[in-house]
Amino acid sequence: MPALKFVRSVWESFQQTSGLEPRLLNNLRVVSAKPGRVHFELDIQKEHTNRLNILHGGAIASMVDLGGSLAVASRGLFSTGVSTDISITYVNSGGKIGDTIRAEAICEKFGKSLAFNTITFTNKTGDLVARGSHTKYIAIAWKDPKNIVEELTPELAKKSS
């Protein structure tokens, strides 16, 4: 199964079973994925904005959390673990209602117990909006029978393409 199809299946699982993501990030789209890297985007709606009518930092924080999970999924874990640390630096406005914010989530290190991810966000003009880091505890996630880690191991993926 290609990384994009698998990551999208994990995102669908979030939408079906989570309380937060289907309400806040219901129109988020996973646009591409390969082992260790995911691109997604969100069309900014009223529920994503603050009282200044620009993208709320909390919406970005939620996307850092989800982005780290999707980056882990791109390495083949269906159950993406639990957060141990999230950090965000806000640099520019993410935009207003009707704009699209784009993100790239990268799984920088993927171990037996921890995964370290970075997520960067850009606005419609390509300016950096925010940079996040997300550490996930994944030791228990390795036991999920829906995992396809071997299939999405970067070295193996290169050999099979």
CB atoms within 10 A of CB 122: 20
**How far is the CA of 141 from the CAs of 15, 50, 114, 147, 149, in angstroms?**
19, 35, 10, 8, 11
Confidence (pLDDT) at 57: 96
Q: Flag residues of the chain having pLDDT under 70.
A: 1, 154-161
CATH class of 3-151: alpha beta
d(CA 22, CA 15): 5
Confidence (pLDDT) at 155: 60
Confidence (pLDDT) at 144: 96
Confidence (pLDDT) at 153: 82
Amino acid at 39: H
The residue length of the chain stands at: 161
Q: Which residues contact 120 (CB under 8 A, 6 or more apart)?
A: 103, 104, 128, 130, 131, 132
109 and 134 in contact (C-beta within 8 Å)?
no
Confidence (pLDDT) at 161: 42
Confidence (pLDDT) at 13: 96
Tokens matching residue 96: 């207003």
Chain CA centroid to CA 70, Å = 4
**pTM of the entire predicted model:** 0.93
Confidence (pLDDT) at 154: 67
Confidence (pLDDT) at 37: 97
- How is the chain split into domains, by residue range? 3-151
**How far is the CA of 110 from the CAs of 5, 36, 92, 114, 157, in angstroms?**
20, 9, 30, 7, 16
